[in-house]
Amino acid sequence: MTWFRESFGAKLLAALGGTVLLLLIITFIVVRRETARQVDIVTTRAISSAERLFAELTELQRQQAAQLARPFTEQRAILRLDAQIQGDDFVLMALEVDYEMQRAGLPDALLVFTDAEGQPVLSIIQGESILGADPAGIAPIAEELLASDEIDATAYRLVDGRLYSVTSLYIEDLAGRAVGTITFGLPIDATDVEDIGAIGGFEACFHVEGRCVVGTPGVDAELTALMNEAVSSGVPLRTRAGGREIFITPELLDATDPFQGLRVTAVPLDDVLVPFERIQQALMFGGGGALLLSALIGIALSRSLTRPMRDLVAATGRVAEGDFGAEVNVTSQDEMGTLAKAFNDMTRGLLLRERYRAVLNKVVSQDVAEELMRGDVELGGESRLVTVLFADIRGFTPLTEGMEPQEVIGLLNECMEHLSQAIDAEGGVVDKFIGDEVMAVFGAPVTQNDHARRAVASAVRMRVGMATFNAVRRSRGDQPLAIGVGINSGVAVSGNMGSSNRMNYTVVGDVVNLASRLTGVARPGEILISGATLRLVGPGIEAPPLGGRALKGFSSEVEVYAVESLSDDRTRSADGSPPVGPPRSNDV
Amino acid sequence: MTLLVASAWLAPTHPVAAQATGVIQGRVQLEAPPPRRRSANRYPGGSAETHAIQSLPAVAYLVGPINAGQGADSEARAVMTQRDTTFVPSVVFLRAGGSVSFPNDDPFQHNVYSYSSIGTFDLGRQNPGSSASKTFAEPGILEVFCEVHDFMRGTIVVSENPYGAIVGADGSFRIAGVPAGEYTIAFWQSEHEPLQQTVTVTGGGTATVQVQLRR
């Protein structure tokens, strides 16, 4: 199940296959129900047609019997019969009846006369006359007929192995008195049944006294056994016989008299079933094909969907690990393509941002860069209290005279590297390099409450750094370099300045100018700060005043202090050397 | 018509004046027919259904030989004509030993027969205009039919005396000129049980008989 929950392909397959399967199942159910309905219609129709046909046969035989009985029922015959019955002259009567039957061409018909009480006085069965007895079992029919208001009655009788459809007619004399009955029986022969079976399209047999007496030619031993089964169970039977699907229905010949026997019809269902079986087969194959096709389409679709997804997931993983160069190669025009394109745009954006960050890191301290990247820094013109530091390499121009330009840049960069590190170490921002001079800002763009102290500490670091640098230079035989540092604090305008497509974050104002002027007057190795800076640094700074100085661009003299030391653990050099200057006192 | 013929036939029966005679008169009540619910003759070819069956009146007659004197042979010959598919007259009285001729006045064939025990006969096909006669020796009643037209009905009363009468439509009958004495009087109608009883006739008197014939 986990596999299913986690696999998009499995879900897609399940959805496609499920839909096809559901459609198939519904179609199957509909076809099955329709088949059952059609079978029902066909069997009902065949059974009712069988009933109608046999009813018509019976009616036809009844009419035929009546017609044939006419010589015995017409007035003169009745008068004669009456006279013969009155006169007990049955021998003559038998002779006359036989004569009439010969005339009618019915030597094998069954003929029974009864008296007014229903007792047979003469039975003629296949040309043989029987006086008095009732070999054909006609008395019950005759008695019932005489007791009723009917003029005739029909029944089936099995006599000497032959099935007769018998019709009894009531006979009365001219005064309306009952004379008796005359019963005509016509044998139901195989030809009649065969004809009816051929017309109705079914097999049938007359089932009397536990056996099939006469039936259609198709009633073989197997079908007979099945018919017997249906007869003994008394309910319709659907089964197979001779490779055919059939529906067997037993029907009583006379609903009121089960002893007369049954008529069993076997309706073949092939005609109705075969088309439906074909449909079902077509559905099986077609459905199997559709399932297979849906599986294939599902697999292909899920592949085409999941491959770019996997690519995307993999690329996302790479992005998470910092590889912003990760791109996915999706060519499709669909939503996946759009997603991939969006992803690629995103990683490109991320890559660009990362590049910017790298560049920014080179320009500003990492903290500042982070803050800038986060967008926390407001890059607009704003007035804020900052400390500005200028550091200038003394005598750089005369020193570099006669040097190759590359050597000059190398030296400058080496020196500036030391200065930048000192600025970075204290959280300052290198504002710009101006030739052999560097400008740094503390307290902007990131607010630092101790910006003045940080600036001074940075200057002290520069001095230490330069000492180390010069030691190296001296060991190489190069001339040492000296820097002069000027620091001033005050309110300056900070913000992005420049043109619309090229901007610099910087600070401007008198604060900056004064810092620059202080640098200008600083002797090599000297760190000059203004009174404002000194006050902001607070305790722990050793900076004796040098008195007022007249500086260019400033109308009044400016009090200048030269920093000797700053007691702050952070000013310790990386190599564990003691802080520059005396230890900072905790006293204010 | 029937009554007229009967009267004509009765007229010469008046006996000679020397003998003391009386009259038998009375009333015959016929039981009403039951509803005829069924008939075996309803099948194609039967003509009984389409024609009204010729109605037969009841007859009253004296049984046994009676010395009637003169004119005794006058009923030794009777005629029963087939006309308009009816027997005319429908009832004839015949002295035993006498003969009845059956002329066919219709322009088509008839076949007159009877299965009555006193004289079963079958005249066969009779062409138009032809006539056949039969002699009946035994007294009794003959019912006469036509095989072709089974709605035709006729009655021949064969008796040993001339005393008989047709019962009128109102049920009354009258036999006059009967010699005084005690007789058996018989009543007959084709659809009813026959009935006999004794009657005593006095000279100049009138004997009254009331009967009901049952089916």
Of residues A291, A284, A305, the one with CA closest to residue A14: A291
Alpha-carbon distance of A155 to A168, in angstroms, equals 8
- How many pairs of residues across A and B have Cβ atoms under 8 Å apart? 60
Query: How near does any CA of chain B get to the CA of A76, in Å?
Result: 7
Alpha-carbon distance of A238 to A249, in angstroms, equals 9
Of residues B47, B40, B110, the one with CA closest to residue A182: B40
Query: How near does any CA of chain A get to the CA of B110, in Å?
Result: 14
User: A74-188 has which CATH code?
Assistant: 3.30.450.20
Tokens of B189: 């109608």
| Sign of the alpha-carbon torsion through A142, A143, A144, A148 | positive
Of residues A272, A488, A253, the one with CA closest to residue A385: A488
- Residue A576's pLDDT is what? 40
Alpha-carbon distance of A171 to A10, in angstroms, equals 89
Query: How near does any CA of chain A get to the CA of B150, in Å?
Result: 7
With CB atoms and an 8 Å threshold, state whether A70 touches B43: yes
Q: Which residues of B touch A171 (CB under 8 A)?
A: 40
Write out the H or E segment, with its range, that includes residue A564. none
Chain A residues at the B interface, defined by Cβ less than 8 Å, are 66-67, 70, 73-76, 78-80, 82-83, 87, 149-151, 169-172, 174-177, 182
Q: Nearest Cβ partner of B40 from A76, A82, A151?
A: A151
The structure tokens 């005829």 sit at B36
Alpha-carbon distance of A312 to A420, in angstroms, equals 42
| Sign of the alpha-carbon torsion through A492, A495, A498, A500 | negative
With CB atoms and an 8 Å threshold, state whether B215 touches A87: no
Query: How near does any CA of chain B get to the CA of A112, in Å?
Result: 16
The structure tokens 């030296």 sit at A411
pLDDT digits (tens, 9 = 90+) for B85-101: 899 899 999 888 889 99
Q: Which residues of A touch B48 (CB under 8 A)?
A: 75
Asked whether A179 and A81 are in contact (CB, 8 A), the reply is yes
Query: How near does any CA of chain B get to the CA of A114, in Å?
Result: 14
Query: What is the layout of strands, in order, in the sheet containing B195-201?
Result: B164-166, B59-63, B181-188, B195-201
Mutation to test the B interface, candidates A76, A88, A179, most B Cβ within 10 Å: A76
Asked whether A447 and A382 are in contact (CB, 8 A), the reply is no
Asked whether A28 and A280 are in contact (CB, 8 A), the reply is yes
Q: Nearest Cβ partner of B41 from A75, A80, A87?
A: A75
Residue A158 CB neighbour total at 10 angstroms: 18
Write out the H or E segment, with its range, that includes residue A293. helix A270-320
Q: Rounded to an integer, what is the distance from CA A583 to the centroid of its chain?
A: 76
With CB atoms and an 8 Å threshold, state whether B190 touches A175: yes
Mutation to test the B interface, candidates A62, A68, A75, most B Cβ within 10 Å: A75
**Alpha helices of A395-450 — where are they, by DSSP H?**
396-400, 405-425
- Residue A579's pLDDT is what? 43
Quote the ipTM score.
0.70
Asked whether A148 and A50 are in contact (CB, 8 A), the reply is no
- Residue B118's pLDDT is what? 87
Alpha-carbon distance of A540 to A581, in angstroms, equals 10
Asked whether A429 and A440 are in contact (CB, 8 A), the reply is yes
Query: How near does any CA of chain B get to the CA of A73, in Å?
Result: 6
Beta-bridged to residue A239, according to DSSP, are A246
Q: Nearest Cβ partner of B48 from A70, A75, A79?
A: A75
CATH classification (class only), A364-571: alpha beta
Of residues A337, A333, A348, the one with CA closest to residue A309: A337
- Residue B50's pLDDT is what? 62
Do you know the residue count of chain B?
215
The structure tokens 């096709």 sit at A293
The one-letter code for the residue type at A216 is: T
Q: Which residues of A touch B39 (CB under 8 A)?
A: 151, 172
Which domains can be identified in chain B, with CATH numbers?
Answer: 2-213 (2.60.40.420)
- Residue B100's pLDDT is what? 92
Mutation to test the B interface, candidates A85, A151, A182, most B Cβ within 10 Å: A151
> Mean pLDDT in chain B?
80
Asked whether A423 and A458 are in contact (CB, 8 A), the reply is yes
Residue A417 CB neighbour total at 10 angstroms: 12
Chain B residues at the A interface, defined by Cβ less than 8 Å, are 33-34, 36-46, 48, 113, 115, 117, 120, 143, 145, 147, 150, 190-192, 215
Tokens of B147: 């095989």
pLDDT digits (tens, 9 = 90+) for A269-281: 877 778 888 888 8
Helix axes A335-363, A366-374, angle to 10 degrees: 140
Q: Which residues of B touch A70 (CB under 8 A)?
A: 43, 45-46
In chain A, domain spans: 74-188, 364-571
Query: How near does any CA of chain A get to the CA of B90, in Å?
Result: 16
Alpha-carbon distance of B46 to B150, in angstroms, equals 8
Asked whether A166 and A141 are in contact (CB, 8 A), the reply is yes
Torsion of CA B138, B141, B147, B152, to 10 degrees: 150
- Measured at the CA of A163, the angle between CA A157 and CA A168, to 5 degrees, comes to 40
Beta-bridged to residue B28, according to DSSP, are B211
With CB atoms and an 8 Å threshold, state whether B37 touches A172: no
Q: Which residues of B touch A104 (CB under 8 A)?
A: none
Surface-to-core class of residue B38, CB atoms within 10 Å of its CB (0-12 exposed, 13-18 middle, 19+ buried):
middle
Mutation to test the A interface, candidates B43, B53, B188, most A Cβ within 10 Å: B43
Q: Nearest Cβ partner of B38 from A75, A87, A149?
A: A149
Beta-bridged to residue A156, according to DSSP, are A165
Q: Which residues of B touch A75 (CB under 8 A)?
A: 41, 46, 48, 145, 150
pLDDT digits (tens, 9 = 90+) for A446-502: 788 888 889 889 888 888 888 888 888 889 888 888 889 999 999 888 877 777 666
Low-confidence ranges of chain A (pLDDT < 50): 570-588
Of residues B192, B173, B214, the one with CA closest to residue B60: B173
- Residue A586's pLDDT is what? 41
Q: Nearest Cβ partner of A73 from B40, B143, B192?
A: B40
Alpha-carbon distance of A439 to A421, in angstroms, equals 13
Indicate the pairing of strand B206-213 with strand B21-30.
parallel
Residue A271 CB neighbour total at 10 angstroms: 12
Low-confidence ranges of chain B (pLDDT < 70): 1-19, 34-50, 67-75
Torsion of CA A92, A93, A96, A101, to 10 degrees: -140
Beta-bridged to residue B188, according to DSSP, are B59
Alpha-carbon distance of B148 to A520, in angstroms, equals 169
CA separation, residue A453 to residues A429, A532, A566, B157 (Å): 14, 11, 9, 175
